[in-house]
Amino acid sequence: MGSRFIALAGVLLVSACATARMHSQDELNSASLACGLTYGELIQDDEEKKLLIMFRAAPTPEHRHCVYNWARKNHLKLVVIDAINFHEE
């Protein structure tokens, strides 16, 4: 009985530490379209694989919620960039 508990606890511990993987651009585009975004509005950085970055001006709460759920399901942290100011020279 005790060894079963230890084995189950080990499996749960390992599954809780799932690492993020790089998703293909097709996977990210599919998630974008499923959440009502367009191509290229979701990106994943090579150096910070755990971050899913959403580039969208004023995303709706529904957009954020949908992308957040997809990110969470794929062991990613959502970062929303909703305003980019370019300095004119």
Q: What does the pLDDT look like over 22-72, one tens digit per residue? A: 999 999 999 999 999 999 999 998 889 999 999 988 899 999 999 999 999
User: What is the model's pLDDT at position 18?
Assistant: 60
pLDDT at 86: 67
- With respect to residue 7, please indicate whether it lies within any of the assigned structural domains: no
Tokens of 4: 């079963």
Residue 13 has pLDDT above 60, yes or no: no
Q: Quote the pLDDT of residue 37.
A: 95
What residues make up the domain containing 41? 20-81
Is residue 68 in a domain? Answer: yes
- Count structural domains, the chain: 1
**Domain-located, residue 9:** no
Domain-embedded: residue 37: yes
Rounded distance, CA 76 to CA 48, Å?
A: 10
pLDDT for residue 16 is more than 80: no
The residue among 58, 28, 51, 27 whose CA lies nearest residue 41 is 28
Q: In this structure, are residues 60 and 66 in contact, taking their beta carbons and an 8 Å threshold? A: no
**Residue 57 within a domain:** yes
